[in-house]
Chain A
């Protein structure tokens, strides 16, 4: 990745950065039409991509970004490799920010809404209107409520100053993933109100009470990175991860063991484990007093009792505790929606106690980092809603948050908002909240704006505009707007001419405070190039506060009569619902359920059978707050008394109105005359079911434990999953499988192969027999019971050797190969999003996905395997893309040579030559080719995101993964210019670049020192898929390593 920002690129970056700044920064003209490169900056080469470092503002994690731009337009988001937190990777949502930048839902002009009629106004008028209003409010001694997205860095200071200048008011940061309970628990326990650093990488054993840390909790990218460091297989060892929660989620499916417990029992389980440890007398680092007090505090939580209430066996708890006792090399965490009950803070304290007793504090739980994860607590919001209703707030400004959608109906927010005399929206997109505003002044997207962030102590992240404003959107940077409004309203103390200057001044101060020796200009330039200024944080020692002894832990709740609903976040959709109108996030299947374009409700098979529900039925879910219909997804990974639904769905998505024959007669013609972009609602908003409840101690919103009733409606749901086995109940139904879950295993076909930890030396042999092929009993010699033939694997390898390879025609020093480590892959699907972004892959919609027309070049295959020892289902993921075979099936069958073996050993695909016989797709045994069943439309202005290096395919053409051939070409050309060969690691495919778990390694196998060659030489875990067919794929998979041959 380093090579992506070479010195040369830095120079270009700063040059174009300056130019962009000149255009984007002035902000005086109301409309800035983009004429890209009217006068190109010095040194600019058309066709070369330029990278800009900036900071992601999708959530408060504030990851570092590198945005690739081509011809002045941002086309791809990647992680900033210099950034200490996300280390060059970003999540799915981060990949999709380009769909937000070019979102068809973005507000085009400033508008005034009077009598429900929207009227376009000029910026001057809009600003004046608001400034007058601000003055009026100030004169009347009214207050302002500013509801914004959580931000860190300079802007909050400006805003505070501004609000105070305007006569005072409240600033609230709205985030539906708040971490107040975590902060609160740390304050009670250690007197530190902060989010500490969880050093997953230093732990050997991880117990997770339901935090979806690989999906949305805290910074999932950083968590994944660290988790992989702990859990990867290296030197015959790997960490162990135990998931204790009512719902398994994507995170839980990666665990080595999953212990299911009812909702709300996590606290008691954590305390019981702590108690076992306390009684074990190994907790030597505790003072006698601490021990005594803690023992007393936990006296009610004996393992026998908890085993009875939670249903987890006593011996399991004891074993778990012994395992956890690693002298500071273990870690327990909790949080996220799954744990967001009314006693979340108590759970966090219980987890803290567990960590403390096991000696993890200051070792794997490190204070001093002070991660900034935002979000006001619900109590403050409640006060604000009350204030709105009572007329305390004369003016409400809402900026890039959508409380009308994300807060439940009975929060009263919508009603209260209507009671406010004047509502202003600063939101970039038109959303459910901005519809209710009196004035909408759309601000620019963060990729078009200046800003900064401070994700943790010592990380000063700079956010710079990566391109001029997207044409057709008449917007203004938020900072500039605030500053100009201050001038218009006649406020003192806002001297800066724009936010860029303001930011620079602030960074000058920072430069002084940090005591950096180099001159400011150099510091500023460097920060812009590197994405900020990064330091390590200083550890601070945590000591136990007495306050904790006064706490009263409640006994776990008695078994409730109904079902408990969990509104869970996933890496595709979270409760903030920001990504819920981005088509990539709708189209990419949810990794566990593989559902696309829909909401679903997860039910345990036993519960489903009890309620008379089968997989795929439409069910009615009723809570005290409402009633919705959703498809049942029968899944073993959930507690019997719990149901789960994805949060953050149910928003409107702009999508071409492709006609479909779904549900119509197959004889009547369906003809598409014109294609329009229409808005349609995708899924359901789970918030409609939830009550307005909060955690008693910290005030975090409660996502878990809403009591619901479920009954079948008697209809089949229109549920579309990408999981081929169950597309239409294809799998042979098991007689005992009354819930219709079906067989979703890989049927012993060896796509995902595993091995037990400790069996490493034995290599493949055992596993091949077990996983790959069966023995042929009918060829046994009756006399001595030996087979007439070689064992099948031997037979296959002999045959493959005999058949040989087609003679390669390499005339390059390159042969590209890929290694995918299934032990690292967590199934997060960030690679899929990266591929969509990189390769101009069209989104096809639900109807087309339903009939197998999805276009994704890479898919995460998810298999549920039955463990032969335990009888439990285990979840496995494998990323599958074109295997670039040496003896490819697709090549010989193409009558026109549209696909052929290129000199680099890739299966090249010539779109222009393809006539569309689709024989290649049939003969691809990995089923990795995609056909353009129509010419797909990219709703404007999403077409601006298209990568000019990759052609957009039209109807009738076959396509597939190319190993990012354009990237290879670009770097090869650059290397050629320099008169050398490509250096290993210089080329990164989009999927490899995106992978937060570093599961994908790509490189030249002919280079003896490349990472791929090294892996090939050293590993004993390698296998190829379907080896018996002798296709000689260029992708080698590395086996998943399981503890004791089992997994969650």
Chain B
């Protein structure tokens, strides 16, 4: 293994931005296929109404809201890694934060689609915005759905700004490494960054401030998403634990997704193997263990409170989840979210790339199911026994879900080809400057 130097970091990252090869093209074709199928499905849904989704009475929120919360959750890891871990100076962050940040932006973009897809009349989605109009129609600020609109748009704008800010020095590097039109293309977002001491000083201050602004948003956005549920009156939704529980869950799923993306990225670009070190992945694995334990604790507390409160509706629901008709979802969820991450306590598992990848996939599945369990089973088993129901997946929602992955990966695939997917400048910071002895030597 060659020693990382300023030069070869540049080379490796710039190499990843070479014109795409065959495997990229084939993958992109599949991705676009999935996306177009999802778009077709949505078109059918708009034409015929929501009946091709499995959403029904009483389960009036189904896969779409599940997807929404899932993608918002995914969108958590990036900002957490780039902002929170930056503030706490966690060393394993440097190699992975750029890709995770990109993931955040794209995940939030994907998530933002779902409230629209889920609307009965998607063409009137702009009514959710407070825009001045002659009919003096206004929005209802009491509704948690509206809080969502603001929380997500704020989070999205800050994430994008933070992402772009972090990119500046690297874009300048890429600019310097390229010629012709490409150089022009990168010179614009690079904002004349030339790496002067003065520029670095201001840049680092700005970055720190942004990190400080983004940090509370990491916690607020998912808290507010959780209030979509917690503010209602339903057993299984109406719970004060939801905000921290959702935030932990979001970080959990986000870290899972980071691993799901980083591990193939290392394979796709062999040069990255030396940059994204095993111990960085291990750091993510440790985060997964930590958040998994929080999530497990939250599950346990939910059940305990259901018992302890004596509220019969809560009790009935928390009996229904593990033992009712929809129990399958619950048990797979518990397996993926509570049991599988325990294996990460073993150093052997934690440092095995295939094991990490499989576990990260299972965490994703588990977290999707967690949202589905929360949305679906609570609505299936409410107050009126006569109006209990069940859920059947239908083709439109399945294809829209697959299409949403297509949408996400389309952006990500474009990203790895046009932007440095590893933070060049920050990687260089970790190196010992040439001609200087390391402190400990």
A contact set with B: CB distance below 8 Å: 661, 665-672, 723-725, 727-730, 732, 744-749, 751, 773-774, 776, 778-779, 792, 848, 851-854, 859, 861-863, 880, 889, 892-897, 913-919, 921-923, 925-927, 929-935, 955-958, 1026, 1029, 1031
Contacts and interface: CB of A to CB of B under 8 A. Distances in A.
Contacts of A916: 50, 119-121
A744 B386 CA distance: 8
B119 A915 contact: yes
A745 to B, nearest CB: 7
Contacts of B119: 915-917, 956
B231 interface: yes
Interface string B205-237: 000000000000000000000001001111000
Contacts of B308: 778
A182 to B, nearest CB: 38
B139 to A, nearest CB: 6
Nearest to A900: B140
Interface in B53-67: 54-61
Contact of A919 (B137, B145, B395): B145
Interface stretch (B41-49, B174-182, B249-257, B293-301): B41-49
Nearest to B315: A774
Given A672-B48, A774-B312, A921 B58 contact: yes
Interface of B: 40-41, 44, 48-52, 54-61, 115, 118-122, 124-125, 127-128, 137-140, 142-146, 149, 228, 231-234, 308, 310, 312-313, 316, 319, 323-325, 379-390, 392-396, 398-399
A751 B325 contact: no
B233 A889 contact: yes
B49 A661 contact: no
B144 A918 contact: no
Contact of A725 (B140, B145, B385): B385
B388 A727 contact: yes
Contacts of A934: 48-51
A814 B137 CA distance: 26
Given A661-B395, A747-B312, A931-B50, 18 more contacts: A727-B389, A744-B385, A747-B316, A774-B312, A778-B310, A848-B51, A895-B139, A895-B149, A914-B120, A915-B120, A916-B120, A919-B60, A919-B61, A919-B232, A927-B57, A927-B384, A956-B122, A957-B121
Contacts of A773: 312
Nearest to B37: A669
Contacts of B325: 728-730
Given A668-B395, A852-B56, A893 B231 contact: yes
Contacts of B55: 918, 933
Which of A665, A880, A896, A957 is packed against the most chain B CB atoms within 10 Å? Answer: A896
A1021 B52 CA distance: 45
A670 B52 contact: yes
Nearest to B115: A917
Nearest to A748: B312
A862 B128 CA distance: 39
Contacts of A897: 137-140
Contacts of B380: 730
Contacts of B124: 915
14 contacts: A661-B395, A727-B388, A728-B325, A747-B312, A778-B310, A852-B58, A853-B51, A893-B144, A893-B145, A896-B139, A919-B232, A922-B234, A931-B57, A933-B50
Contacts of A853: 51, 56-57
Nearest to B43: A671
A930 B387 CA distance: 12
A500 to B, nearest CB: 48
B61 A918 contact: yes
B387 A724 contact: yes
Contact of B310 (A725, A792, A862, A930): A792
A666 B393 contact: yes
B16 to A, nearest CB: 35
Nearest to B381: A730
A892 B142 contact: yes
Nearest to B135: A913
A1001 to B, nearest CB: 23
A955 B124 CA distance: 13
B162 to A, nearest CB: 28
Given A727-B389, A732-B324, A893-B145, A931 B120 contact: yes
Nearest to A746: B385
B233 A927 contact: no
A852 B128 CA distance: 28
Contact of B388 (A665, A724, A848): A724
A859 to B, nearest CB: 7
A859 B60 contact: no
A355 to B, nearest CB: 39
Given A896-B127, A1029-B233, A669 B41 contact: yes
Contact of A669 (B54, B379, B399): B399
The 3 tightest CB contacts between A and B, nearest first, are A916-B120, A956-B120, A955-B49
A917 B61 CA distance: 9
Contacts of B57: 852-854, 921, 927, 929-931
A45 B378 CA distance: 51
A922 B392 contact: no
Given A732-B323, A955-B50, A725 B233 contact: no
Contacts of B139: 895-897
B234 A957 contact: no
Which of A723, A778, A931 is packed against the most chain B CB atoms within 10 Å? Answer: A931
Contacts of B316: 747
Contact of A913 (B40, B137, B392, B394): B137
Given A932-B120, A934-B49, A922 B60 contact: yes
B234 A895 contact: no
A930 B56 CA distance: 9
Contacts of B399: 667, 669
A800 to B, nearest CB: 13
B180 to A, nearest CB: 45
A749 B125 CA distance: 38
A669 B42 CA distance: 12
Nearest to B54: A851
A1045 to B, nearest CB: 22
B121 A926 contact: no
Contacts of B313: 749
B66 to A, nearest CB: 13
Contacts of B142: 892-893
Contact of B387 (A672, A927, A1026): A927
Contacts of A666: 392-395, 398
A732 B137 CA distance: 47
A894 B140 contact: yes
B404 to A, nearest CB: 16
Nearest to B57: A852
A728 B390 contact: yes
Contact of A749 (B144, B310, B385): B385
Nearest to B375: A922
Given A661-B395, A925-B233, A751 B384 contact: yes
A934 B49 CA distance: 4
B121 to A, nearest CB: 4
A795 B57 CA distance: 32
A877 to B, nearest CB: 11
A805 to B, nearest CB: 16
Contacts of A732: 319, 323-324
A925 B382 contact: yes
Contacts of A914: 120-121
A861 B393 CA distance: 27
B49 A859 contact: no
B384 A880 contact: yes
A750 to B, nearest CB: 10
A892 B143 contact: yes
B128 A896 contact: yes
B58 A935 contact: no
B232 A923 contact: yes
Contacts of B48: 672, 934, 955
A893 B143 contact: yes
